[in-house]
Structure 1
Amino acid sequence: MYFDDLDISDNIKKAIKEMGFAKTTPIQEMSIPKSLKGSDIIGQAQTGSGKTLAFAVPIIEKIFIEDRSPQAIVLCPTRELCMQVADELAKVGSKIKKLKILAVYGGQPIGKQTRVLKKGVHIVVGTPGRVIDHIERGNLDLIGIESVVLDEADEMLNMGFIDDIEFILKNTPVNRQTLLFSATIPDEIKKIAKKYQKNPKTIKIASNKKNTPKITQYFFKCNIKYKFEDMTRLLDVYDVKLALIFCNTKKGVNYVEKHLRKRGYSVDSLHGDMTQKVRNRVMNKFRNGNISILVATDVAARGLDIDNLDVIINYDVPQNPENYIHRIGRTARAGKIGYAFTLVSRDEIQRFNAIKKVNKTKIAEKKIPSFKEVEYIKNNMILDNVKNLIELEEVDDFYLESVKKNVNKKINSELLAAGLLKMVREK
């Protein structure tokens, strides 16, 4: 389906066109028409499936600009996802004059958020804790809410927000529309849906082949003592330009970042204990290409959407199958090819096998290259660049003449080339 075929305003169509979208994704095609008719939705879809646009279009279409009180609220598990969703909503509504959208989350001065709320906003995007904070302070009145979106509901459940979500839903009008999106639908989410939704339309999008067709997945068995060394070999062999490395704990993140930095890699880290100001700075550095490697925990990387990401490395095997899908979904965006590498030590094999079984995915095993193989591969990469240069006829006669003049009985052209290669590698 084309966005132009949807029964939505021309302003929204123009904005979506400027965003570079013409056709809907499966979750958008199946949910937007139903949402526009007022139905409650349970949408099950993975990261990267286009679900933000799936709820952004219908809630913005319903906004009455003259009313400056909140008409829609989107709940997200993390600050990063809040910012990403608010940004996407702003893009969809960019052609609608005076549309006001506000992201509210912890780690940012509450006074600034309060002042904007007092002036009037149409859509609030927030983490459950900060939304409740504003409700209790009298800054946020939900009496005019027509649409509630629960984004990444399973993750909010995992983070212990279930009571907060119920509190917020109880403070919204009974006749509101409720749109629920989640990668998985566990029993607790089903209970929420049954309690707070009215005859919801359930939409389930297959998670594998369509959403992750260009991700090449490998796993590498390794000794836990040499796991870090093994990972650096992979970074070197695959000539990684932009990598996201996942660890299960803050301690693991700090260890990997510290030792990569010692090795001269351009690296930074992201974990939940950082202030929002620091996290924003790190994410901007990564997005802008000022650092080539980001080491993060699952929660800290939630909502982090980066183009041109070469590889995802699972330094630790994820704690559950859903986290594996969320992690690898960060690469191969916009039709690009991406790699997902998982390092598996002996005590992680059982957990890794469970991930393969639940996700019904084949992950090929590869061996960690030896030191000699890494060096050989690096040599070949330089020589490949040289051959490309020659094929593009970018080697001037001046250089050819210089080589010819330095070839003699003791030093032939092969030996001269080998000497140049050594000089380049060891400089």
Structure 2
Amino acid sequence: MKKPEFLKIGQEKEVTVDTIFHMYTFSNGSSKVPALLAYLKEYQPGKSIIFSETKRATDALYNMLVEQGYEAVVIHGDLTQAQREKSLMDFRKGAQFLVATNVAARGLDIDDISDIINFDAPNDPEIYVHRVGRSARMGKSGTALTIIGNEEFGSIKDIEKKLRIRMSRIELDQEPFLEMRLSFSYGRNGGGRSQNSHGGRSGGPRGNSSRQGSSRQGDGRFRYPRNNRTNKSKKLLNLFHNPLQFSCETASLDVL
């Protein structure tokens, strides 16, 4: 195994990421939703954080995932401290996805996050470091996927150059999801879902999550096996033979 390459970014404490697989994929058309749903189907990630650049898109992503039957929570700068804490508590207790702006990119300490999904490519390599550093804790491996449009490819090359890493391109079967789009018509309370007394927001069928079945159900939601990780393991083994290693010192970010 190659000697890890140490990167110094910013002035705060060092965050070491030993085994992160860096990937990117192009969105097929104007919407990134088909790429996201295709990744969830084909790679079947575990506990994940999905990052978006704006609070509005974060709310829309959260609602879309809940409508598809996934257990998700949301966190961004418009939520109260109590609401954020409730979302994080639900995430720790078993919600599969935390949808967040960069407010969650630093200071979040959850050991079992396996995947980081950049729904929007970060416009700064330092932000990328903060995001992916939420994964691969306690010596575990992690996966970072960035979904990009054609105009965002420059961000990928900039990240590769400044962080001295290589991001592998993956192809996803987006065809079944091409009609899917984000809806921005939801209100702050999650499209009519009531917030609980602690202000947290979560959704999806707790006892019948989207990953327990294996086909499209009568309600139109896709359901995938919870325990089947074979596809992801095979894909990652084919893509990566020498895990990239780096460590960094984090920098402060403005809360979005």
TM-score (norm 2): 0.63
Which residue in the other structure is 1:230 paired with? Answer: 35
The answer to whether 1:345 aligns with 2:159 is no
Which residue in the other structure is 1:196 paired with? Answer: none
CA contact 1:219–1:366 (8 Å) conserved in 2: yes
The answer to whether 1:299 aligns with 2:103 is yes
CA contact 2:25–2:145 (8 Å) conserved in 1: yes
Q: 1:265 to 1:352 in 2, by over 3 A?
A: same
Which residue in the other structure is 1:335 paired with? Answer: 139
Q: 1:302 to 1:383 in 2, by over 3 A?
A: closer
Mark the structure with the bigger radius of gyration: 1
Selected match of 2:120 from 277, 291, 316:
316
CA contact 1:233–1:368 (8 Å) conserved in 2: yes
CA contact 1:248–1:319 (8 Å) conserved in 2: no
Selected match of 2:129 from 306, 319, 325:
325
Q: Which amino acid aligns with 2:128?
A: Y
Q: 1:253 to 1:382 in 2, by over 3 A?
A: closer
The gaps in structure 1 that reach 5 residues or longer are 1-26, 28-43, 47-153, 155-180, 184-204, 385-427
Question: Deviation at 1:221?
Answer: 1.3
Which residue in the other structure is 2:159 paired with? Answer: 355
Which residue in the other structure is 1:285 paired with? Answer: 90
The gaps in structure 2 that reach 5 residues or longer are 1-5, 177-213, 216-223, 231-256
CA contact 1:243–1:292 (8 Å) conserved in 2: yes
CA contact 1:256–1:295 (8 Å) conserved in 2: yes
Q: Which amino acid aligns with 1:351?
A: S
Q: 1:301 to 1:328 in 2, by over 3 A?
A: closer
Deviations 1:139-180 (A, max 9, x none): xxxxxxxxxxxxxxx5xxxxxxxxxxxxxxxxxxxxxxxxxx
Q: 1:383 to 1:316 in 2, by over 3 A?
A: closer
Q: CA RMSD in A?
A: 2.9
Of Structure 1 and Structure 2, the greater helix share is in: 1
Residues 25-424 of structure 1 aligned to structure 2 (within 5 Å):
181-182=11-12, 211-289=16-94, 291-370=95-174
Q: 1:331 to 1:382 in 2, by over 3 A?
A: closer
SS for the counterpart of 2:30 is helix
Deviations 1:84-118 (A, max 9, x none): xxxxxxxxxxxxxxxxxxxxxxxxxxxxxxxxxxx
Deviations 1:276-321 (A, max 9, x none): 11011111111222x1101001124421111111200000000201
CA contact 1:270–1:300 (8 Å) conserved in 2: yes
Q: Which amino acid aligns with 1:308?
A: D
- Which one is further off, 228-237 or 271-280? 228-237
Question: Deviation at 1:353?
Answer: 1.5
